[in-house]
């Protein structure tokens, strides 16, 4: 090594010793005596530049150097944003289509409220469903005891998770106690997380919940022989779940289209060896609470098997009209094929005996429902 190179190396070593090495997980910044920024601080700062100011990756890198003396490559902001999203630090909140909401409510004035989400993602509709459920609690059940019944499925699992997250934030006007009820048994043997009994894990034993919680599970087969239904309903644990049904004040459910290959009711009927052609000939458009519905309303399965559900569809209109129950329908696109549920949603909305009081759906579904309704009106004229 030449004397010049040796001297240069000694000067760099001495400078490093005077400045000290940055601790693990930190990045050296300005030479102003301040501690270097930690990885967490850099992560938060990058998120702020991106979410609050809409800066590009290149602009973020420039501002990090200019404002904080931190040098990062132009690719690094994307890595930081991905890490922040995986930690739940940043989250997309889909906008609402307020003009469509007004049209839906004008066309169906019996609805207490309706939210139309400008998105084609099930997760976004589920998030707004959780928000509407929270608003229902705050508006009608503050300081008392609220009983909420959950149907099953992927979209309602997403809703339950987001609902739990919302409840951990500082929220005013909540009940002193919430009792969660399972309205159906799980269908999907390959994904037990779609069973409403599994939703309870989002709420149990969490000190972040500012209220007491209680649970009423339904431990029964999803589908049973029609001849065995009465006997099973009288078994001790199942009988208790049915006995608590009258206490449920908010019913949270989703729906699926019969023509969708991912319909769990259709899939189960096939597995059980039942004819799906008979249901199609009867005009089945979809299901709610694992029970079929057509343009003329709910109808009973003329088959040897039926769903074990705490509530029957034919009871919903009476529960709404006479007992002032709330029924929240969350109808986003299919979480697997992303098809719209417009046909079954329209059938539900068109019932003379109303089956729901609140609706959350996606903008594509809302537009199709309104378009089909206008076409039907024109045809009748």
Rounded (10°) angle between helices 76-86 and 39-53 = 100
* pLDDT, tens digit, 9 for 90 and up, residues 261-284: 888 888 877 777 666 777 888 899
**Distance (Å, whole) CA 303 – CA 282:** 13
* pLDDT, tens digit, 9 for 90 and up, residues 219-235: 998 888 888 989 999 99
* pLDDT, tens digit, 9 for 90 and up, residues 298-315: 987 677 788 899 999 999
Residue spans per domain, the chain: 24-86, 98-380
**Running DSSP on this structure, what letter comes out for residue 90?**
S
Structure tokens at 164: 């739990």
Provide the CATH number for the domain formed by 98-380 in this structure. Answer: 3.40.50.1360
**Distance (Å, whole) CA 31 – CA 154:** 52
User: pLDDT tier at 15 (50, 70, 90 boundaries)?
Assistant: very low
**Please, which contacts does 154-157 make with residues 24 or more away whose CB atoms are closer than 8 Å?**
154/122, 154/191, 154/194, 154/335, 155/122, 155/125, 155/126, 155/129, 155/254, 155/330, 155/332, 155/335, 156/126, 156/194, 156/196, 156/199, 156/252, 156/253, 156/254, 156/330, 157/193, 157/194, 157/198, 157/199
| pLDDT the model gives residue 218 | 95
Cβ neighbors of 24 (< 8 A, separation 6 or more) are none
Query: Quick check: helix, strand or coil at residue 26?
Result: strand
Largest Cα span, the chain: 99
Q: Which of 217, 239, 243, 241 is nearest to 230 (CA)?
A: 239
Res. 101: pLDDT tops 70:
yes
């Amino acid at each position: 090594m030449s004397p010049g190179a040796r001297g240069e190396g000694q000067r760099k070593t001495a400078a490093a010793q005077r400045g000290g090495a940055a601790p693990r997980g930190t990045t050296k910044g300005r030479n102003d005596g301040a501690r270097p920024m930690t990885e967490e601080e850099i992560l938060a700062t990058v998120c702020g530049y991106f979410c609050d100011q809409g800066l590009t990756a290149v602009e973020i890198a420039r501002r990090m150097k200019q404002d904080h003396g931190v040098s990062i490559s132009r690719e690094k902001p994307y890595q930081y944003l991905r890490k922040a999203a995986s930690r739940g630090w940043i989250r997309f909140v889909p906008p609402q289509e307020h003009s469509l909401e007004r049209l839906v409510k004008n066309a169906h004035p019996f609805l207490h409220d309706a939210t139309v989400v400008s998105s084609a993602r099930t997760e976004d509709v589920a998030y707004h469903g959780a928000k509407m459920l929270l608003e229902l609690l705050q508006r009608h059940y503050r300081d008392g005891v609220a009983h909420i019944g959950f149907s099953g499925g992927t979209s309602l699992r997403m809703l339950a998770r987001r609902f739990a997250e919302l409840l951990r934030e500082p929220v005013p006007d909540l009940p002193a106690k919430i009792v969660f009820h399972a309205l159906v048994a799980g269908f999907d043997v390959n994904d037990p997380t779609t069973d409403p009994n599994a939703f309870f894990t989002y709420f149990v034993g969490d000190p972040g919940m500012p209220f007491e919680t209680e649970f009423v599970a339904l431990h029964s087969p999803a589908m049973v022989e029609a001849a065995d239904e009465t006997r099973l309903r009288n078994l001790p644990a199942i009988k208790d779940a049915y006995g608590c049904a009258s206490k449920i004040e908010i019913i949270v459910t989703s729906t699926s289209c019969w023509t969708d290959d991912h319909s769990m009711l259709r899939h189960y009927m096939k597995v059980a060896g039942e004819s799906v052609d008979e249901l199609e000939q009867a005009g089945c458009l979809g299901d709610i609470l694992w029970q079929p519905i057509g343009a003329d309303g709910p109808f009973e399965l003329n088959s040897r098997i039926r769903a074990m559900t705490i509530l029957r569809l034919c009871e919903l209109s009476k529960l709404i009209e006479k007992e002032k129950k709330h029924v929240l329908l969350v109808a986003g696109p299919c979480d697997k094929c992303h098809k719209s549920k417009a046909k079954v949603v329209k059938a539900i909305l068109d019932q003379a005996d109303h089956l729901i009081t609140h609706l959350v759906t996606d903008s594509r579904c809302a537009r199709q429902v309104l378009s089909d309704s206008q076409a039907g009106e024109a045809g009748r004229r």
